[in-house]
Amino acid sequence: MKLKKVNTDQTKGKRVLARVDFNVPIKNGRIGDDGRIVSHLEMIEALSGAGGRLTLVSHLGRPKGKTPELSLKPAAARLEELVKKPVAFVHDCIGDEVNAAISSLKDGDILLLENVRFYPEEEKNDPRFAKALALPHEMFVMDAFSAAHRAHASTRGVAGYLPSFAGPLICREVEILGAVRDDPRHPFALILGGAKVSDKIGVIENMLSKVDVLIIGGGMAFTFLAAQDLNIGRSLCEPDKIGFAKEMLKSAKDKGVKLFLPVDVAVANEASESAKRQIVPIDRIPDDQMGLDIGPESIKLFCQALTGIKTVLWNGPMGVFELPSFKDGTEAIAKKLSELMAEGALTVVGGGDTAAAVKAAGYERAVSHVSTGGGATLEFMEGKLLPGIEPLLEK
């Protein structure tokens, strides 16, 4: 997959619209985690430094109309601190006020528009709205990989009205995830966790014939355990996916894939900080308890299964890592991936909760790549051509 990369030498004096993802946690006007803003600094500094007249557009949350607490103004203030130069902000994303602000930009200036989801036309990919976004600009740079699986006005629609190019973040994501999906070094291990089997069906179906080792933990493991007729107590389960789990267990065996499920789990009667935790074998989960993390024997088993692996893709935590009592499994896998990277393996962490877990465990810089995408990463690994990437392909 070859993308049309933005050439900064051709951006001087040009009015450039760039799609970023500044969907950051904001509370009382303060940003809790600026990681997504930081991820776009390479593109922002390169285009601004080359003399581009840069307009940034992003969404924030799921507003219903113009919601003041979901304004991107705090993101403009934080970006200004990071780039150490003024960042203008306008309280809209289309219209006369926006057009006037864009017209007044000088070479190297940066402008951030208001939350594009304040308009319902954004998520509908309304062509008139997309044209209004695009109209004041001369080129479009798509750098928001995490939003590339959405066919929205600011991710796909504007590309129909402007010459469109890929930013460095999206290029890096496609290069690394593409290498894992299409040409991994073997042995190759896929680690899946998180809550639902239904979120990972496409990934399992697309990757099962490519992997040597498949490790399943987290809440989704209990659907696979139920498929083996084990009592899982009150653990999370998707009854309508038990049939799929049975098929995948058989398919993995037929393909010679080494599949590992938990052999013990940390259980409690509820997912809370005050819950009493105990470790039980997988076939002895009490009826009134729920599995909330993999146990110590499962940690040993999974880490042993990863020994000597050359490529790893991990998507989904091993337990409720947000609670101290149920973070051991997730932290152990993160530590093992850091050891594998030190040995020369390519270790890739899918975005969303897994990225948050790795960061919370302190291993964000100890793995090869932490994807900025959540749903986008999953859909990419399913083999789909993401709508926000399609217009960026070299013809």
Distance from C-alpha of 353 to C-alpha of 255, rounded to nearest angstrom: 30
**What residue has token string 């093992």?**
336
Number of Cβ within a 10 Å radius of residue 288: 9
Of residues 298, 315, 209, 203, the one with CA closest to residue 257 = 209
Distance from C-alpha of 25 to C-alpha of 70, rounded to nearest angstrom: 10
Of residues 252, 231, 199, the one with CA closest to residue 378 = 199
Indicate the pairing of strand 278-281 with strand 88-90. unpaired
DSSP for 217-259 reads: -TTTHHHHHHTTT---TT----GGGHHHHHHHHHHHHHHT-EE
Distance from C-alpha of 123 to C-alpha of 379, rounded to nearest angstrom: 18
From the list 35, 108, 160, 375, the catalytic residue is 375
From the list 52, 352, 373, 388, the catalytic residue is 352
Of residues 221, 214, 222, the one with CA closest to residue 252 = 214
Note whether 307 and 337 are within 8 A (CB): no
Distance from C-alpha of 133 to C-alpha of 335, rounded to nearest angstrom: 44
From the list 15, 36, 150, 156, the catalytic residue is 36
26, β-bridge pairs = 31
Tokens read off for 195: 């809550």
375 an active-site residue?
yes
CA angle at residue 309 from 308 to 313, to 5 degrees?
155
219 an active-site residue?
no
Peptide bond into 391 cis (omega under 30): no
Note whether 45 and 56 are within 8 A (CB): no
Indicate the pairing of strand 188-192 with strand 213-216. parallel
196 an active-site residue?
yes
From the list 131, 196, 255, 384, the catalytic residue is 196
178 an active-site residue?
no
Residues annotated catalytic, as ranges = 36, 196, 352, 375
